[in-house]
Amino acid sequence: MSQSSKVCVGQITGAHGVRGLVKIKPFTAAPEDLTAYGPVSDEAGARRLALQLLSWAKDQWIVKVEGVADRDAADALRGLRLYVDRAALPETEEDEFYHADLIGLRAELADGSVFGTVRGVFDFGAGEMLEIARQGAGPGGSSVMMPFTRAAVPVVDIAGRRIVVDPPAGLLEPAERPPEEGKDEG
């Protein structure tokens, strides 16, 4: 199994105020765990950041980053994804997964045919969704958003690097349009 040695725990969404504070959207199960696993770094590990959580506002932390003293420096960090070493994280329970472990898994239909590849995991507020790049679609090609529920994704096989999907009715078929009134269908 090829798992990344780093796991993304949050992302800097922008500056807060003029004194170098930043806003961070945590991706941890408990938001306060953002700093519980040790120092964070960028994906390459080239830049390590020491964080001090100050306050929680609008689903984000307001954070002091050591060495960042003004708004320009804070703004320069916008979009930076924050990673920790996988070894620092607790083991997952059964039916619990790190997003990093799901990305890249092959998505199959129940008959074993390849449907696509998991491109991302998102939570828009109504539950997690998997973005699945359709089989044969290039990097910017077509993808579908699949609810990450037991009904839609009955099998998650991390060791086998695959998931089995059962797309909800209507997800794959184009929407049928009712005939226009007064038009002859013949």
Give residues with Cβ within 8 angstroms of 21, minimum separation 6.
15, 54, 62, 63, 64, 65, 74
pLDDT of res. 140: 61
Q: Residue 74: what residue type?
A: A
Architecture label for domain 99-164: Roll (2.30)
Q: In the structure, what pLDDT confidence band is assigned to residue 2 with cuts at 50, 70 and 90? A: very low
**pLDDT digits 0-9 by tens, 116-170:** 999 988 877 788 899 999 876 656 668 899 999 999 999 999 999 999 999 888 7
Distances (CA, A) of 11 to 76, 164, 165: 13, 29, 29
Which has more pLDDT, 184 or 78? 78
Domain definitions of the chain by residue range: 6-88, 99-164
Q: Place 4 in a pLDDT band, splitting at 50, 70 and 90.
A: low
Residue 137 is predicted with a pLDDT of 61
pLDDT in tens, 28-51: 888 999 999 988 999 888 999 999
Q: What is the pLDDT of residues 62-107, one digit of tens each?
A: 999 999 999 999 999 999 999 999 888 888 888 888 888 898 999 9
The answer, yes or no, to whether residue 181 has pLDDT greater than 60, is no
CB atoms within 10 A of CB 49: 19
Taking the C-alpha atoms of residue 100 and residue 96, their distance in angstroms, rounded to an integer, is: 12
**Euclidean distance between CA atoms 176 and 129, whole angstroms:** 24
Pair type for strands 60-65 and 51-57: antiparallel
CA 164 – CA 166 distance, rounded (Å)? 7
Provide the pLDDT for residue 3.
54
Q: Quick one: pLDDT band at residue 171, thresholds 50, 70, 90?
A: confident
Is the domain spanning 6-88 CATH 2.40.30.60? The answer is yes
